[in-house]
Each structure stands twice: as C-alpha cells, then as structure tokens.
C-alpha cells in the first residue's frame, strides 16, 4: 500500500477552482480539467516519485494480479480520474476494442506519430467509461427519439433548421437511419449554411424559460456561448440532456455519443485515450471517424443503479471487463476494501480516512489516493467517502 500522486491535465474546458479545492491547494489561475490516477503512459501517476507504469512493468503480477495480467496483459487495465468542467466538452464517442485495434494499426502503418495533433487512435484499446457525479452535473448522452426531436425543432420555430431536420419525421425509415442522416448533415454544414445556427439560437433565447422547451433551448444558447458558429451546437440538439445529482452515475459504452456540459465527478474508464470528436472543441475533429463508430440507437439507458455489495460498499455495475467502480461510505465502523485479489486505486473524495493493511497504515484526506497491490487486504476506518477502482473481474 503506497500513496499515489495524480497528474493534472490543464485542458481549456476545466475549472480554475474545483480541482485545487479538491486537493486543498491554492489555485494556479489556469484551467485544471482532469486529475488522473493510473498508469496511462501519457500521464502516469507517481509512487514515491516513480511512474506507476514502470512499477507495473517491473512486477505486473504482484501489482495488478495474475487474473488481470492473463486477461489484459502486464498493465493496469483502468484509469481513474476526477473531472471538473467549467464549460462544455466536445461531442465525442469512443471505439470498441476491435475498432480501436484496427484504427491504431492503420495509423501506425501510416506513420502518424502517437502524439500528433491529428492522431485519432492513440492506442489499441476501447474506452468505455463511468462518471459518478460529485456535484450537480449536466450532460448530453445518446440520441433522443427522432420524432420527438423533430417536434422540438418544430415548436422552436426556426424554419431554416426545420428544413434540415425534416428526415427525422419520416416514420417509413428506421430511427437509426434518420438520426444518422440528420446528425451527419448538421455536422457537415458548409460556411454558407451556418446562418442556421444563429437562427436557432435567436429562437431559443426568445423562449419563456418556464416553458417545457427550456432544456432544449438552453442547450442551444449555452453551447453557442462557448462555441459560436460551431455545427456541433445543432448536432447536440439531437441528444438527451440529463442532470446528475451527487452519487448518480452514468455509463457510456463504445459508440455512445456524449458531452459533459458542467459539473464533474469521479470517472473510471478502460486505460485508453482514444476519443473521436465531432465538434465543440479546439482539438482535432474527425467527423468520418466519429460517424464510423457511433451507435445511433435512440433512447437513454445510461444511469447506473448502485448495488450494496457489503456494509458501506456500493458497486456501480457495468458490462465493461476492464474496470469496476465501488463507493465506500465510512461512518466510523471499519469497512473492507473490495477486490483484494487485484491491484486497486483508492481515492478519498470526502472526509478523513485511515487505510490499514498488513503492510501498514496510511492516513488519507480528501484528494489523496493509495495504490493497493494484488492480494493486499485492507480496511478503511474514519468518516468519509472513498472510491475504489479495480479490474472488472469480480
């Protein structure tokens, strides 16, 4: 059991205060979007000054566990993060394992450097993910039923947009095909067509905010405030908008289109940095790559209902084999840390906790984390909330 130091990612959409407050340190004045706890080679966490990916490479079975090594190779299969969004993130999705392997091999063969700005597949792994909110969080996730979206555009009253989304109303065509047609049409607006964005935003801002159209209209005006004249403003209006309260969790499998709008929480994912972006970002956008992996099935089923595995331990079940996420609620009585046969990361999100194993005692406060090696049984005492990430083999 060792103290683990995370790595901050200063993406432009990040909050200037949330992560410093979480860590109990003064703000730098710059955006701090994500705090990574893991062994991704782009930003490995440190254990006593040594990169975690190197520690694992030197002794993978003892650190992450034999089962994990057999299933995923000599690496940590998950990445645990704290994210803090002060403005909307890009419209994005992540590939399946087969898509990631094929895309990575293709770009390697083409000689595109892995750190090149125009690189789409930075590794050969999928990136399913879970977000558990720590604060109220607004997000877009998946596609709304096409006929419902058409009615919203119809009520909005922007004639130029209604013409573009007309295929959504054609009930003779499969819903997935209607959504794919309109989504691609909106993302590929020519400069001459982009006046439609302003038409939609004007119509949205003229609505009474007490109207039941308010969430739809608010999405348009909020996104346009950060990304004016971006076709993603319109494309995002095809999506479900949801509000997560603290403790609520959202699962995003391969092919799921999503974008966080504000807020943040603890996120766990397969250990990958493969992101296909379609808009709402200064980063590299590859519409072709995004369209190739998207699941256009309408509806929303992403909310996870946590399961109490043992007193004080709540698990967020998903079908992802690369990771599992647990939440520990310590209220004075000892709580067993789950998944003792595997390497895990324990992150304190609130309170003051003491973690005890056969290797000693480690006191942790909010923002601090520990690496627990495979086979290391541990108990948490104190009062607070912690999250535990591990391989999804249990």
Please give the positions annotated as active site: 277
Query: What is the sign of the dihedral through the CA atoms of 127, 132, 134 and 136?
Result: positive
What is the distance between the alpha carbons of residues 241 and 237, in angstroms, rounded to a whole number? Answer: 9
| 246, 224 Cβ separation under 8 angstroms | no
Sequence-ordered list of residues with C-beta below 8 angstroms from that of 356, at least 6 positions apart, any chain:
362, 378, 379, 380, 381
List Cα–Cα distances, 46 to 39, 43, 51, 366, in angstroms: 9, 9, 5, 18
Place of tokens 């067993």: 336
Q: Say how many C-beta atoms besides its own lie within 10 A of residue 16's C-beta.
A: 15
Question: Residue with structure tokens 């995004």?
Answer: 290
Whether the CA torsion 367, 266, 87, 136 is positive or negative: it is: negative
Our separate counts of H helices and E strands in the chain read 12, 22
CB distance 82 to 265 below 8 Å? yes
387's enclosing H/E stretch is: strand 378-390
Closest among 53, 98, 69, 5 to 391, alpha carbons compared = 69
* CA neighbor of 380 nearest in space, from 343, 353, 347, 358: 353
Encoded tokens for 124: 């050969």
Reading the block at residue 125, the tokens are: 């792994």
């Amino acid at each position: 059991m060792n103290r683990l130091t995370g790595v901050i990612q200063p993406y432009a959409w990040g909050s200037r205060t949330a992560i410093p407050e979480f860590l109990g340190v003064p703000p730098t004045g710059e955006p701090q979007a994500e705090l990574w706890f893991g062994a991704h080679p782009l930003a490995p966490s440190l254990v006593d000054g040594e990169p975690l990916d190197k520690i694992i490479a030197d002794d993978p079975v003892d650190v992450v566990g034999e089962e994990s090594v057999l299933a995923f190779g000599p690496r940590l299969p998950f990445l645990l993060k704290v994210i803090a969004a002060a403005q909307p993130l890009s419209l994005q999705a992540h590939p399946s394992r087969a898509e990631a392997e094929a895309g990575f091999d293709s770009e390697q063969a083409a000689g595109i450097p892995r750190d090149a700005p125009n690189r789409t597949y930075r590794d050969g792994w999928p990136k399913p993910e879970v977000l558990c909110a720590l604060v109220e969080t607004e997000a877009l996730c998946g596609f709304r039923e096409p006929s419902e979206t058409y009615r919203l555009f119809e009520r909005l009253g922007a004639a130029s947009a209604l013409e573009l989304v007309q295929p959504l109303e054609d009930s003779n065509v499969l819903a997935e095909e209607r959504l794919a047609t309109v989504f691609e049409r909106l993302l590929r607006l020519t400069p001459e067509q982009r006046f439609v964005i302003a038409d939609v935003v004007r119509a949205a801002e003229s609505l009474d905010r007490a109207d039941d159209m308010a969430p739809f209209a608010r999405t348009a005006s909020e996104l346009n405030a950060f990304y004016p004249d971006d076709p993603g403003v319109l494309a995002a209006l095809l999506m479900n908008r949801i509000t997560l309260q603290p403790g609520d969790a959202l699962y995003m499998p391969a092919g799921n289109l999503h974008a966080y709008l504000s807020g943040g929480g603890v996120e766990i994912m397969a250990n990958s940095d493969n992101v296909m972006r379609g808009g709402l970002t200064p980063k590299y956008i590859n519409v072709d790559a995004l369209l190739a992996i998207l699941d256009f099935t309408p509806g929303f089923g992403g909310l996870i209902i946590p399961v109490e595995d043992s007193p004080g331990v709540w698990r967020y079940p998903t079908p992802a084999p690369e990771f599992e996420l647990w939440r520990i609620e310590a209220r004075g009585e000892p709580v067993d840390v789950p998944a003792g046969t595997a390497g895990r990361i324990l992150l304190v999100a609130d309170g003051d906790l003491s973690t005890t194993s056969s290797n000693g005692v480690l006191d942790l406060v909010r923002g601090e984390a520990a690496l627990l090696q495979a086979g290391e049984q541990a108990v948490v005492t104190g009062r607070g909330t912690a999250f535990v990430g591990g391989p999804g083999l249990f």
